[in-house]
């Protein structure tokens, strides 16, 4: 009964988190049914680490100090339920279980209710930053019971990434809040990855710019206000060469896979009636990428000669930088707006200043811009959408002209820029005090007597249209 924390599932994430905790002087225990994984963790531990690993659930649970704090790092879905069931007979009231995987938030709600009945505190916690993050400082998004979080707080704050000394972890809200926030984090991640792929496509296939210049351009963006993890790794990816010196990227198949979090973000946004079109576009483009044989066939039949669309290379690169910047801000705006509505609908009690604060470091969507968003929420806690923040609005207004030019160029060239276009449509719709949806209301009333409201009179109206 002396270990501070236990982890179930000694895959890459689980063992790296344990080693990270041990670096910070916590005594930690690991459980895995695989003897090999358990043994190799102890072998990996340094001389100053207090780590023990076992394959036996009873020994594992008994070794942890009460109230016990145990994190599951097993694949989302059934394995989480199986792991909980294997621990339950050994747990006592007041113990804490944390699911550290990318679980679907309704599953977390179900488990939360199930375990509350047994007086076990259940947390769903998104963890971002991949293997390296887990080992040296992730961003962590816990949701559950606020009082029970105090048992976890010192450990999580010690191992998390830090920005200006502030830990990139904080209690976010009740129930499945942690998994929900991580889901939207991943939706934003999908959006920004798609935008980077689009500007790359415009440079390469659209303008035929040399590989070196593309690489240098994107890498240089990381020294500007665009500084971010995803821009940084894109610069590094484009630098990597295959054995014969060809950029490795040219040899990678364009069939994109996904594990579900991006799709869940879009699906749930539709349920909540929050538009997140850049994220939708990113999911759609991964799906279209899978229709490879059809695309090859279509490429022969459906042709467009975009050769007349030309522009100065350096001017185009400036436009693309601004276009990416603009659309990136819009992507965050959509995800954050979704969190605002979800927090009301599911009563999570999210504070978006806290969310943007813990996203500044450790996670995949960390970026200099997150500090600007944090400040926007600090200025106005009730901000419904960061586009309404004056400073962010001014930035968008400045970037707007180059952004529109980049999209015009893409249209002329026939390059599919679904993310960029959807960012523009969202912006133009959001800033339209009047939309043509009055015509839709009239059509609904015409064929279905669905009624409509008028701008000049109170009440509900129906017209005999013919």
Q: Shortest approach of ligand 6PG to residue 200 CB, angstroms? A: 17
Q: Shortest approach of ligand 6PG to residue 127 CB, angstroms? A: 7
One residue of 54, 261, 331, 343 binding ligand 6PG per CB under 6 A: 261
Site residues (CB under 6 A) for ligand 6PG, limited to 212-241: none
One residue of 259, 295, 444, 450 binding ligand 6PG per CB under 6 A: 259
The residue among 217, 203, 197 whose CA lies nearest residue 406 is 203
One residue of 20, 102, 160, 338 binding ligand 6PG per CB under 6 A: 102
Contact 350, 184 (CB under 8 A): no
- By CB under 6 A, how many residues form the interface with ligand 6PG? 12
One residue of 95, 189, 198, 372 binding ligand 6PG per CB under 6 A: 189
Q: Which stretch binds ligand 6PG (CB under 6 A): 28-36, 128-136, 202-210, 318-326?
A: 128-136
Q: Is 130 in the site for ligand 6PG (CB under 6 A)?
A: yes
Nearest-5° angle of CA 77, CA 354, CA 181? Answer: 20
Q: Is 462 in the site for ligand 6PG (CB under 6 A)?
A: no
Contact 123, 5 (CB under 8 A): no
DSSP state at residue 222: T
Contact 219, 239 (CB under 8 A): yes
Q: Which of 52, 182, 204, 357 is catalytic?
A: 182
Q: Which is nearer to ligand 6PG, 80 or 91 (CB)?
A: 80
Q: Is 431 in the site for ligand 6PG (CB under 6 A)?
A: no
Q: Which stretch binds ligand 6PG (CB under 6 A): 17-25, 125-133, 271-279, 322-330?
A: 125-133
Q: Which is nearer to ligand 6PG, 79 or 130 (CB)?
A: 130
DSSP state at residue 69: E
Query: Residue 48 catalytic?
Result: no
Q: What is the largest CA-CA distance in the chain?
A: 86
Q: Is 169 in the site for ligand 6PG (CB under 6 A)?
A: no
Q: At what angle do helices 12-23 and 149-159 cross, to 10 degrees?
A: 90
Query: Residue 204 catalytic?
Result: no
Q: Which is nearer to ligand 6PG, 11 or 130 (CB)?
A: 130
Q: Which stretch binds ligand 6PG (CB under 6 A): 53-61, 122-130, 311-319, 388-396?
A: 122-130
Q: Which is nearer to ligand 6PG, 100 or 247 (CB)?
A: 100
Q: Is 137 in the site for ligand 6PG (CB under 6 A)?
A: no
First to last CA, the chain: 81
The long-range contacts involving 105-112, CB below 8 angstroms and separated by at least 24 positions, are 105/176, 105/179, 105/180, 105/183, 105/264, 105/268, 106/176, 107/76, 107/77, 107/80, 108/143, 108/175, 108/176, 108/178, 108/179, 109/175, 109/176, 111/80, 111/81, 111/84, 112/144, 112/175, 112/176
Q: Is 66 in the site for ligand 6PG (CB under 6 A)?
A: no
The residue among 341, 336, 326 whose CA lies nearest residue 270 is 341
Q: Which stretch binds ligand 6PG (CB under 6 A): 11-19, 36-44, 65-73, 126-134?
A: 126-134
Helix (H, G, I), strand (E, B) or coil at 119: coil
The residue among 196, 170, 154 whose CA lies nearest residue 24 is 154
DSSP state at residue 387: G
Stretch (H or E) spanning 126: strand 121-128
- Residue nearest ligand 6PG, Cβ-based: 128
Q: Shortest approach of ligand 6PG to residue 267 CB, angstroms? A: 14
One residue of 167, 187, 247, 262 binding ligand 6PG per CB under 6 A: 262
Q: Count Cβ atoms within 10 A of the Cβ of residue 243 and give its class: 0-12 exposed, 13-18 middle, 19 or more buried.
A: exposed
Site residues (CB under 6 A) for ligand 6PG, limited to 347-406: 363-364
One residue of 50, 55, 258, 289 binding ligand 6PG per CB under 6 A: 258
Q: Which is nearer to ligand 6PG, 86 or 258 (CB)?
A: 258
Q: Shortest approach of ligand 6PG to residue 121 CB, angstroms? A: 24
Contacts of 388 (CB under 8 A, 6+ apart): none
Q: Which of 189, 204, 321, 413 is catalytic?
A: 189
Interface residues with ligand 6PG (CB under 6 A) are 102, 128-130, 186, 189, 258-259, 261-262, 363-364
Residue positions annotated with a catalytic role: 182, 189
């Amino acid at each position: 009964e002396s270990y501070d924390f236990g982890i179930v599932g000694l895959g890459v994430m689980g063992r790296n988190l344990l080693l990270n905790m041990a670096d910070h002087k916590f005594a930690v225990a690991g459980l895995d049914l695989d003897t090999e994984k358990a043994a190799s963790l102890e072998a990996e531990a340094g001389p100053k680490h207090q780590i023990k690993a076992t394959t036996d659930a009873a020994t594992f649970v008994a070794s942890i100090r009460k109230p016990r704090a145990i994190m599951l790092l097993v694949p989302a879905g059934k394995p989480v339920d199986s792991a909980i069931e294997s621990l339950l007979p050994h747990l006592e009231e007041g113990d804490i279980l944390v699911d550290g995987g990318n679980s679907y938030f309704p599953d977390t709600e179900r488990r939360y209710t199930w375990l509350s009945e047994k007086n076990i505190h259940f947390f769903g916690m998104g963890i971002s930053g991949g293997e390296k993050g887990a080992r040296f400082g992730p961003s962590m998004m816990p949701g559950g019971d606020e009082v029970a979080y105090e048992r976890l707080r010192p450990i999580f704050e010690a191992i998390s990434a830090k920005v200006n000394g502030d830990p990139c972890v904080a209690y976010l809200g009740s129930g499945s809040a942690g998994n929900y926030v991580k889901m939207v984090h991943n939706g934003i991640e999908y959006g920004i990855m798609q935008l980077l792929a689009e500007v790359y496509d415009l440079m390469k296939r659209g303008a035929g710019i040399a590989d070196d210049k593309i690489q240098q351009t994107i890498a240089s963006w990381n020294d500007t206000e665009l500084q971010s993890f995803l821009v940084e790794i894109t610069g590094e990816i484009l630098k990597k060469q295959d054995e014969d010196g060809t950029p490795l990227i040219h040899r990678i198949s364009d069939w994109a896979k996904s594990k579900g979090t991006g799709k869940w973000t879009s699906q749930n946004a539709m349920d909540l009636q929050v538009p997140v079109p850049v994220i939708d576009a990113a999911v759609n483009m991964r799906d279209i990428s899978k229709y490879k044989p059809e695309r090859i066939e279509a490429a022969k039949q459906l042709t467009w000669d975009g050769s007349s669309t030309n522009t100065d290379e350096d001017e185009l690169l400036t436009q693309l930088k601004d276009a990416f910047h603009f659309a990136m801000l819009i992507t965050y705006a959509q995800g954050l707006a979704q969190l605002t509505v979800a927090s009301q609908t599911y009563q999570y009690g999210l504070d978006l200043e806290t969310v943007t604060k813990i996203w500044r470091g450790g996670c995949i969507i960390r970026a200099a811009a997150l500090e600007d968003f944090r400040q926007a929420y600090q200025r106005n806690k009730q901000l419904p959408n960061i586009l309404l923040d004056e400073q962010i609005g001014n930035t968008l207004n400045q970037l707007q002209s180059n952004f529109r030019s980049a999209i015009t160029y893409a249209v002329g060239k026939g390059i599919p820029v679904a993310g960029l276009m959807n960012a523009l449509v969202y912006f133009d719709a959001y800033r339209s005090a009047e939309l043509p949806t009055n015509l839709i209301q009239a059509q609904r009333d015409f064929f279905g007597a669905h009624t409509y409201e008028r701008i000049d009179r109170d009440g509900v109206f129906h017209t005999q249209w013919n």
